[in-house]
Amino acid sequence: MPGPVEQHLRAVPATFLIGALWGDEGKGRVAAALAPGFALTVRATGGGNAKHTVLVDGQALALRHVPCGIVAGVPALLGPGMLVHPLALVEELALLDRTGIDAGLVRVSAGATVVLPEHVDEDVARERMRPLGTTRSGIGPALVDKARRVALRMHELTDAQRVRHALQSRTVRARPKSEIERQVRALVRAGRALAPRLVDGGALVRAALARGDDVLVEGAQGTLLDVDHGTWPHVTGTHPTVGGAMAALGLPAREVARVIGVTRAYATRQGAGLFPTEVHGREEGALRAATREYSVRIGWLDLQALRYAHVLNGFDELAVTGLDRLRGLEVVKLGDGWLDARGRTLTTLSTDGPIGARLCELPGFLDDVTNVRSARGMPPAARGFLDFVERSVAVPVRRFSVARAGRLATRRSLLGAR
| Binder among 41, 45, 137, 291 for ligand IMP (CB under 6 A) | 137
CB 233, min distance to ligand IMP, A: 9
State how beta strands 215-218 and 40-43 pair.
parallel
49 binds ligand IMP (CB under 6 A): yes
41 binds ligand IMP (CB under 6 A): no
Measured CA to CA, the distance from residue 219 to residue 241 in angstroms comes to 8
263 binds ligand IMP (CB under 6 A): no
Stated length of the chain: 418
Q: Is 24 a catalytic residue?
A: yes
Question: Between residues 23 and 337, which has the closer beta carbon with respect to ligand IMP?
Answer: 23
Q: What is the C-alpha radius of gyration for the chain, rounded to an integer number of angstroms? A: 22
- Helix residue ranges per DSSP H, 12-138: 27-34, 86-98, 117-129
141 binds ligand IMP (CB under 6 A): no
Measured CA to CA, the distance from residue 357 to residue 304 in angstroms comes to 9
Give the range of 79-87, 133-141, 169-177, 312-320 binding ligand IMP by CB under 6 A. 133-141
67 binds ligand IMP (CB under 6 A): no
Question: Between residues 50 and 339, which has the closer beta carbon with respect to ligand IMP?
Answer: 50
Number of other residues whose CB lies within 10 A of the CB of residue 389: 21
> Within positions 270 to 329, which residues make up the interface with ligand IMP, using CB under 6 A?
270-271
Question: Between residues 24 and 390, which has the closer beta carbon with respect to ligand IMP?
Answer: 24
Do 26 and 262 contact (CB within 8 A), yes or no? Answer: yes
Per-residue contact string for residues 19-38; x = within reach of ligand IMP by CB under 6 A: ---xxx--------------
Measured CA to CA, the distance from residue 23 to residue 268 in angstroms comes to 8
CB 143, min distance to ligand IMP, A: 8
Residue in 8, 24, 229, 234 annotated catalytic: 24
Measured CA to CA, the distance from residue 394 to residue 279 in angstroms comes to 25
> Within positions 222 to 241, which residues make up the interface with ligand IMP, using CB under 6 A?
225, 234, 236-237
Cis peptide before 354 (omega within 30 of 0): yes
CB 237, min distance to ligand IMP, A: 6
State how beta strands 331-339 and 356-363 pair.
antiparallel
Number of other residues whose CB lies within 10 A of the CB of residue 116: 24
Question: Between residues 202 and 230, which has the closer beta carbon with respect to ligand IMP?
Answer: 230
Per-residue contact string for residues 319-358; x = within reach of ligand IMP by CB under 6 A: ----------------------------------------
117 binds ligand IMP (CB under 6 A): no
Q: Is 239 a catalytic residue?
A: no
* Contacts with 325 (C-beta within 8 Å, 6 or more apart), sequence order: 264, 265, 266, 290, 291, 292, 293
CA 284 to each of CA 266, 275, 281, 302: distance values in angstroms, whole numbers, following the listed order? 12, 14, 5, 15
The single-letter code of the amino acid at 291 is T
Residues at the contact surface with ligand IMP, assessed by CB under 6 A? 22-24, 49-51, 133-135, 137, 139-140, 220-221, 225, 234, 236-237, 270-271
- List, by residue number, the catalytic residues: 24, 52
